[in-house]
Copies of this chain bind each other. A is one copy, B any other.
């Protein structure tokens, strides 16, 4: 079975680990969000791709969900001693090596997709990890500070400001001109199932879908497209998805997110058992829906979620 998964960072990575356990023989291609990418200290940092790579490759800091296991912070301390920031982004020494290799390869002319493949040759994530695009796309968030509208990089909004001010707009800068990375459209066309993990519907999956051609390819693939709600009981499971949902006028509910994707894209949608009452409304909109436990508390519950998603896909297909 060929499965294509659109993934952001922590939520996507953990779901993928469950999926690998649930379907060990599946051929999984991950289309990773690169709108979170940022240049820090002259280095190209791809937080979502790395979170997937480290999580599936056994190198992740489990507790925080991102960054490396057994990390140290000498480089960061030295940069601070030079007065060079930002200090709000937690890059550890081991993690720095990844960004150094990536930046060196990009500088030598390799596209991000080739760089990602090279990095994965070490981590062996057990999936094919593709960036959504080799072109630079950078999600910016419009906020208001002292009555003045400003645009800040997504990471500044998310990590530095902790989404503490309202997002007035979320713009994937460069997306319109971006092309899907080599292999992305081919993987979608060849897929048996396409899954949206409980990743952020705006800044993760929404950004991937903003690359011209990807949304259309998914809609036209003619295979079940099934998602899992990142909203449980009217609140994001993790992160601050409600903040960016508000920016695009979508309520932070499991049903509203499903309707936002829409039946033109989505065939099935899993909501948590606490949101079971929203199933009829989702189904009325033409999206098959089931209520199952959606908390990724450990590997087994996450694998169970993946099995439910694959079962719903088969139901849709039949």
Contacts and interface: CB of A to CB of B under 8 A. Distances in A.
Interface of A: 41-43, 72, 74-76, 78-79, 81-84, 93-94, 96-98, 100-101, 103-104, 107-108, 118-119, 121-122
A54 to B, nearest CB: 12
A91 to B, nearest CB: 10
Most B-side CB within 10 Å, residue of A76, A79, A93 = A93
A76 B76 CA distance: 15
A78 B94 contact: yes
B93 A79 contact: no
B74 A101 contact: no
A100 B122 contact: no
Contacts of A43: 100
5 contacts: A42-B104, A72-B93, A75-B100, A76-B97, A82-B118
Contacts of A121: 83
Contact of A75 (B79, B83, B93, B119): B93
Given A74-B93, A82-B98, 16 more contacts: A41-B100, A42-B104, A42-B107, A72-B93, A74-B94, A74-B97, A75-B97, A78-B96, A79-B97, A79-B101, A81-B97, A81-B122, A82-B101, A82-B119, A83-B121, A84-B101
Most B-side CB within 10 Å, residue of A42, A43, A98, A104 = A42
Contacts of A118: 82
Contacts of A107: 42
Contacts of A78: 93-94, 96-98
Contact of A74 (B41, B72, B83): B72
A122 B77 CA distance: 13
A115 B253 CA distance: 51
How many copies make up the complex?
2
A81 to B, nearest CB: 6
Contacts of A119: 82
Contacts of A82: 97-98, 101, 118-119, 122
A314 to B, nearest CB: 40
Contacts of A101: 41, 79, 82, 84
A302 B41 CA distance: 38
Contact of A79 (B74, B79, B84, B100): B100
Contacts of A108: 42
Most B-side CB within 10 Å, residue of A84, A107, A119 = A84
Nearest to A92: B74
A71 to B, nearest CB: 8
A45 to B, nearest CB: 12
A41 B100 CA distance: 7
Contacts of A94: 74-75, 78
Contacts of A122: 81-83
Q: 4 smallest A-B Cβ distances: which pairs?
A: A78-B97, A42-B104, A74-B93, A75-B97
A35 B28 CA distance: 49
